[in-house]
Chain A
Amino acid sequence: MKRLIVGAWALLAVACVDPSLNALTVPPLGKQALLDSEARTITLSRGVALGFDCALDGPCADASATVDDGNLVLVLPAYLDDLGVNYTDGLYAGSAAKTGFVLVGKVEGRTKLRVKAEDVEVEYELEIVR
């Protein structure tokens, strides 16, 4: 039982240190822009844009986003006119402007999206479809 509790805390600790990405926009009718935070996959139609925010105990600080193959997809920083709550050790620690990015599907194919915040990186499989 003791090991189970320790394991659960360890899982929670891991969950808290990875930046979390959340979709902010929907695709146009008949197109795809799907961000799956659990599977860490993104499916995006060519020519379609997807806005998403980044959280790590609040809005991601010092965040950057890159893709392995810039010929397939473009990633740009976004200005988000909204505040998010910051937490330190699970306690309220004020608020800060949300951090976001926009992905733009250019050419069909597969690549990876890497988002880094506070020296922690999360990796998503990215597929650009027709």
Chain B
Amino acid sequence: MFRTIVPLGALILAVSACGGGSTGALGQTQVRAECDPGDVVCLQSSVAPLARGATLALDISSLTQGSAAVDLSLLSADEVVARVDGDAVIGGEPGVTAVLFLTPDGIVLDFIHLTVAEPTALVVHRLTDDGESVAELEGRVQLLVGETFGVSAALRHQSQDLAGKVAISWQTDPEIAPLLDSGSLGRKRILARAPGRTVLQARAGGLITEIPLEVLP
């Protein structure tokens, strides 16, 4: 078992813009998956299953009455399923494990049960200019020279979106449509540079998704 100290006060200040979340089993905390506004996992009403190999930062707010925030440490009941790293948990073998929130003197404030699932699909989403995910890309994308196009990717188990961040590897033909960093893990911008055809390839968790791209003059 692995323990790490999480400053709860800092976590409360870091409440993400997305709503929902899960209440702890003892009803004494509110737990959300920390994510960027517009991330697909933010649309979940509760903490979604964690993808194997993905990292999920937990945003924990205390619901106890009359008590100020305290530093909490996380403790995973089954490190084979999920291990703790700072204020985050990392998905291991598919299964269920309790994640306990402990005070510095080892008292349990609350806990949640987290499910880890094997990703079965990698879906690529189109982003708006302000970074919101608007649609899942399924067919060919056509761009005019000079246009840019934001994309992100998320892992799924069957039809369920999975939580957690993973390293995503992106590829296109840089002569036709180079990929630009967007400053956010898992997001890229495609620049339509020269007329031609290429393929946008996303790789993560052993899965590959390809989207045909065509740049028109």
B207 contact set on A, CB distance < 8 A: none
Chain A contact residue count (CB 8 A cutoff): 25
Q: How far is the CB of B96 from chain A (nearest CB, A)?
A: 5
**Stretch from B104-112, B118-126, B127-135 at the A interface:** B104-112
| B107: contacting residue among A30, A45, A77, CB under 8 A | A77
Contact, CB under 8 Å: B98 / A47:
yes
Q: Which residue of B lies closest to A78 (CB)?
A: B108
Bound CA–CA A45/B97 (angstroms): 10
B113 within 8 A of A: yes
Contact partner of B100 among A46, A81, A104, CB < 8 A?
A104
Interface of B is mostly: loop
Chain B residue numbers with a CB within 8 Å of A31 are 96, 113
Instruction: Name the distance in Å between B183's Cβ and chain A's nearest Cβ.
Output: 37
- Whether A37 is near chain B, meaning CB under 8 Å from some CB there, is no
* Residues in A lying within 8 Å of B, measured CB to CB: 24-28, 30-31, 45-49, 51, 74, 76-81, 100, 102, 104-106
CB distance from B160 to the nearest CB of A (A): 14
Given A28-B113, A45-B96, 19 more A-B residue pairs with CB atoms under 8 Å apart are: A24-B25, A27-B113, A47-B78, A47-B98, A49-B100, A51-B108, A51-B111, A76-B102, A76-B106, A76-B108, A77-B106, A77-B108, A78-B107, A79-B64, A81-B63, A100-B26, A102-B108, A105-B77, A106-B77
User: What B residues does A79 contact at CB under 8 A?
Assistant: 28, 64, 103, 107-109
Across the interface, do A48 and B108 meet the contact criterion of CB distance under 8 Å?
no
Chain A minimum-CB-distance residue to B25: A25
Inter-chain CA distance A105–B115, complex, in Å, is 16
Question: Contacts A47-B95, A51-B26, A76-B102 known; A81 to B78 CB distance under 8 Å?
Answer: no
When distances are taken between beta carbons in the complex, the residues of chain B under 8 Å from A100 are 26
In the bound complex, residues from chain A placing their C-beta under 8 Å from that of B113 are 27-28, 31, 48-49
CA gap between A49 and B77 in the complex, in Å: 8
Q: Can you report 17 residue pairs joining A to B where beta carbons are below 8 Å apart? A: A24-B25, A24-B26, A25-B26, A28-B115, A46-B78, A47-B98, A49-B25, A49-B98, A76-B107, A76-B108, A77-B108, A79-B28, A79-B107, A79-B108, A80-B26, A102-B111, A105-B77
**CB within 8 Å of A: which B41-88 residues:** 63-65, 67, 77-78, 81
Q: When A and B form their complex, which 9 residue pairs have the shortest distance between CB atoms, in order from nearest?
A: A49-B98, A47-B78, A28-B113, A25-B25, A78-B108, A47-B97, A81-B64, A102-B108, A104-B77
